[in-house]
Amino acid sequence: MAASRAILSGCRRCLRSWRDCRRLSPSLSSSGVRLCASASGETGSDTSKPTLPSPPDFFHPAVQSILVQITGVDIETVFHQVRAKVDPPTYRLMTEEQLKKAYDETVQRASKKLQMPPVLPERAPIDPTPIAENPELEGLETSNLVFTDISQNIPDRERFIVVRELDGVLRRATWEERDRLLQVYFPKEGRRIRPPPLFQEDHMNIVLEADRHVDLLDLCCIQFEPDSQDFIRIHRHVYEDVYHGKKYGLLRSTRHFGGLAWYLTQNSKVDDLLVDMLQVDLADDAVQLVRLYCMLHPDSQSATQIAQGNLQGLDTVKAFAKYDAVKGGVVELAVQAYQAAQTGTEQADTS
């Protein structure tokens, strides 16, 4: 361990402060920095009970299964033609079995690509109280010095990063400073040291006008941590734009649909999404979405009515439209239109 800590980064500003590192506790849990796992109150501890007394977490298995189902796996969308330097296609002669195996592998690869970014509450700010105060250092430097522990095999959240300010105060680095310096020493592919102006409101609106919601969200996932302020702000902005513009089709069968559905359900904005699903003949998805709503709002009228009446299928959607939907009429009409279309096709099939 001593040998690994003897590595100096070579830059004058990046010398590690030996004594401070040894003196202070290595884990930052005492300073108010916590791993994201314990940030939300209820993690999936009640998996055994079918009905949960409190609303479940994003990572609850039941919630995740619903979100995965409504995201869907559309091979054409997941593996769409990209604007990049690609090799010419290869052609193979296959038997039926080989073709089926290749297709199953493709579906597996697609579901890997559809891994959802986590939805986490915003990280608590780092404790700003000074670690040490050395007024004798005042006036010696013209800028702050940052000391980073660059030993290998330390998780990013536990890495030691402290700042010596101009007036001699030694404090822990803020989240923004931490993200920047971790990118300097341990760069991640595609991430910039300073976030580009793309993520400001004006520039985001330009991108969203061109219907490039997925690209913007992908870049946001690359640049920011899931529990950072910017990540949550950008996702909220994009989801609101999708909601107001009713552009649900843009995110369907992408990794971001689960987050969108979660956000809308939490904020009770699911009416238009239900209508959109019914119009695209995804009645099962609509039912699942209502089920998710009942899980997240167990005290709502529709949840109690559905539980009491033991309603199934599209009846749940009708109950939701009656009791809790803001645009109940529109949802009812959509359900009726869907059912009419179904009976029409059945008659056409039978005749």
Contact residues toward other proteins (CB under 8 A) are 35-37, 43-44, 59, 82-86, 115, 117-118, 120, 156-157, 188-191, 196-198, 203-204, 206-207, 210, 212, 214-216, 218-219, 221-222, 225-227, 255
In the complex, what is the shortest distance from the CB of residue 330 to other proteins, in angstroms, rounded to a whole number? 33
Taking CB atoms within 8 Å and a gap of at least 24, the contacts of 186-194 are: 186/156, 188/222, 190/222, 190/223, 191/222, 191/223, 192/223
**What's the closest the beta carbon of residue 159 comes to other proteins, in angstroms?**
13
Q: How far is the CB of 247 from other proteins (least distance, A)?
A: 17
Query: Closer CB to other proteins, residue 260 or residue 321?
Result: 260
Q: How far is the CB of 341 from other proteins (least distance, A)?
A: 34
Strands across the sheet containing 161-164: 132-133, 169-172, 161-164, 145-148
Using CA of residue 250, residue 255, residue 259, residue 261, what is the dihedral sign? Answer: positive
CA pair distance 326, 318, nearest whole angstrom:
13
Contact 342, 317 (CB under 8 A): no
Do 88 and 317 meet the contact criterion of CB atoms below 8 Å apart?
Answer: no
Report how far residue 145's alpha carbon sits from residue 162's, in angstroms, rounded to the nearest whole number: 8
Task: Quote the least distance from Cβ 39 to other proteins, whole Å.
Answer: 8
As a whole number of angstroms, the distance between CA 268 and CA 248 comes to 16
Smallest separation, CB 12 to other proteins (Å): 29
Our CB check for other proteins shows the closer of 1 and 82 to be 82
Query: What angle do the packed helices 257-266 and 229-245 form, to 10 degrees?
Result: 80
Instruction: Name the minimum Å distance from CB 189 to other proteins.
Output: 6
If the CB atoms of residues 129 and 205 are measured against other proteins, the closer one turns out to be 205
Tell me if 220 sits within 8 A of 233, measured CB to CB: no
Residue 163 phi/psi, 5-degree rounding, is -125, 130
The residue among 157 and 291 lying less far from other proteins, judged by its C-beta, is 157
Instruction: Give burial (CB, 10 Å; 0-12/13-18/19+) of 192.
Output: middle
CB of 173 to other proteins, least distance (A): 17
- Least spacing, CB of residue 58 vs other proteins, in Å: 9
CB atoms closer than 10 angstroms to residue 170: 19
Query: First and final CA of the chain: distance in angstroms?
Result: 80
Report the 10 Å Cβ neighbour count for 218: 16
Between 108 and 134, name the residue whose CB sits nearer to other proteins: 108
In our burial notation (b when 16+ CB lie closer than 10 A, e otherwise), range 70-79 reads bbebeeebbe
